[in-house]
Amino acid sequence: MKTTDDLPFATSGTGYAAPSAEAESRLRGLLERGLPLTPRPWRTLAEQAGMAEEQVMACVRRWQADGMIKRLGLVVKHRRLGLQANAMVVWDVPDERVAEAGRRLARETAVTLCYRRPRRLPDWPYNLFCMIHGAHRDRVLAELAAIAERLGLGDIEHRVLFSTHAYRQCGGRYVREAAA
Amino acid sequence: MHCQAPTIQAPNGQVQALDALDRRLIDSYQRGLPVCTRPFHTIAERLGSSEDEVIARLERLQALGVLSRVGPVFDHARAGASLLAAVAVPEAERDAFAELINAAPGVNHNYAREHDFNLWFVMTAPDEPELEARLDGLEARLGVPILRLPMLEGYHIDLSFPIPWAELERA
């Protein structure tokens, strides 16, 4: 692995050689664990991944532009802020209505996630999932009732699955350990 | 594993411990962290603080467990394979099953929920075959069938969420 001192392009403005796929994979693994909280976090990551600081920033910008990175910033643990009521609401929506219902639910500010998933009959008849966070169970239920009314989903069979305990809450680990 | 289960379940969490600068950091930078050589310096300038102060605040928020990290949220679908999964286990044995699930490679969320399917977790892997292998392995260790619910369509895949500070203060 090269050190930063070996890299000829560490300070120039343009024309960087593309980092190797291995280096990019290492960077992905490092980024999944979060930025080092140092004045120059990209340089620290660059040293660890065997890249130049500018290459790291270029990679991150490319991943932001192509959608690989959805957002970059502070990843909050909602429970630790007291947002204890975490409701997964599951709906059994007729197939012809599910996309429209999903799009409309997703526009609600209280809804933080909204996905279509397969039914697994007979055990699991629900095909639309959304998440609602709040400080209190009552507030979440009131919000859900208001949303269902507003979107005309009152007739749709649904269940509210509040979480009662978090055994783990953290970011994904997609990169193989050997590469990270 | 770099990821610990959260332990504190205080009724109002850590909200009382967070001052105006902490809250502005959280409100302003759940997205849009600058990609420049000194991002914390840039943030400090925008918030009227100092680079050292911003770094110290972020370190403290991480130590308090309010932040899991500062960094990117990758698109699951493009970053690798992932799947929402659930199992139905006896309530009395739930903790033991949850421990087995947490010990499996690639598990990044694991919640108890109020349903016959009472443990819900997200399994991740570098690719689909590895994901299937991890799920099959875990299913064998658990001895109960895993409900496998891949995402078919995402309507809202942004996890950024406005924090209702006032509501939390009253909690």
- Of B156, B127, B17, the C-alpha closest to A71 is B156
Q: Which of B41, B69, B89, B148 to mutate to test the interface with A (most CBs of A within 10 A)?
A: B69
Sorting pLDDT into bands at 50, 70 and 90, what band is B159? low
The verdict on residue A168 lying in a domain is no
Cβ–Cβ contact A12 with B under 8 A? no
With a CB cutoff of 8 Å and minimum separation 6, the contacts of A22 are A179
Assign residue B86 a region (left: φ > 0; alpha: ψ between -120 and 50; beta: otherwise).
Answer: beta
Cβ–Cβ contact A159 with B under 8 A? yes
- Residues A61, A119, single domain; the answer is no
Nearest CA in chain A to B56: A37
The verdict on residue A112 lying in a domain is yes
Q: Which amino acid is at A175?
A: V
- Residues A126, A153, single domain; the answer is yes
CB neighbourhood size of A139 (10 A): 17
Q: Which amino acid is at B22?
A: D
- Residues A135, A152, single domain; the answer is yes
Are A143 and A86 in contact by the 8 Å Cβ rule? The answer is no
Task: Give the domain-ending residue among A70, A104, A123.
Answer: A70
Q: Parse chain B into domains and list their residue ranges.
A: 15-64, 76-149
- Tell me how close the Cα of B37 comes to any Cα of chain A, in angstroms: 6
Whether A112 sits inside 8 A of B68 (CB atoms) is no
- Residues A58, A86, single domain; the answer is no
Report pLDDT for A174.
59
Cis peptide before B129 (omega within 30 of 0): no
- Tell me how close the Cα of A17 comes to any Cα of chain B, in angstroms: 19
Burial class (CB in 10 A: 0-12, 13-18, 19+), B170: exposed
- Residues A63, A113, single domain; the answer is no
Whether A175 sits inside 8 A of B126 (CB atoms) is yes
Whether B69 sits inside 8 A of A34 (CB atoms) is yes
Whether A80 sits inside 8 A of B5 (CB atoms) is no
The CATH number of the domain holding residue A29 is: 1.10.10
- Residues A14, A33, single domain; the answer is yes
pLDDT digits (tens, 9 = 90+) for B104-151: 999 989 999 999 999 999 999 989 999 999 999 999 999 999 999 999
The verdict on residue A140 lying in a domain is yes
Q: Using CA atoms, how far apart are residues B19 and B6, in angstroms rounded to an integer?
A: 22
Phi and psi torsions of B35, nearest 5°: -100, 80
Q: Using CA atoms, how far apart are residues A127 and A5, in angstroms rounded to an integer?
A: 54
Whether A82 sits inside 8 A of B12 (CB atoms) is yes
Task: Catalogue the long-range contacts made by A116-123 (C-beta closer than 8 Å, 24 or more residues apart).
Answer: A116/B151, A116/B152, A116/B153, A116/B154, A116/B155, A117/B84, A117/B149, A117/B150, A117/B151, A117/B152, A118/B149, A118/B150, A118/B152, A119/A92, A120/B147, A120/B148, A120/B149, A123/B117, A123/B147
Whether A171 sits inside 8 A of B62 (CB atoms) is no
Residue A133's DSSP bridge partners are A86
- Tell me how close the Cα of A22 comes to any Cα of chain B, in angstroms: 14
Residue range(s) defining the domain that contains residue A52: 4-70
C-alpha distance from residue B63 to each of B30, B39, B56, B66, B92 (Å): 17, 20, 10, 8, 32
pLDDT digits (tens, 9 = 90+) for B41-93: 999 999 999 999 999 999 999 999 999 999 998 887 777 889 999 999 999 99
pLDDT digits (tens, 9 = 90+) for A27-52: 999 999 999 999 999 999 999 999 99
The verdict on residue A85 lying in a domain is yes
Cβ–Cβ contact A26 with B under 8 A? no
Tokens 């502005």 belong to B24
- If one counts the domains in chain A, the total is 2
CATH number listed for the domain at residues B76-149: 3.30.70.3460
The verdict on residue A136 lying in a domain is yes
- Residues A95, A134, single domain; the answer is yes
Are B140 and A87 in contact by the 8 Å Cβ rule? The answer is no
pLDDT digits (tens, 9 = 90+) for A110-119: 888 899 999 9
- Residues A106, A145, single domain; the answer is yes
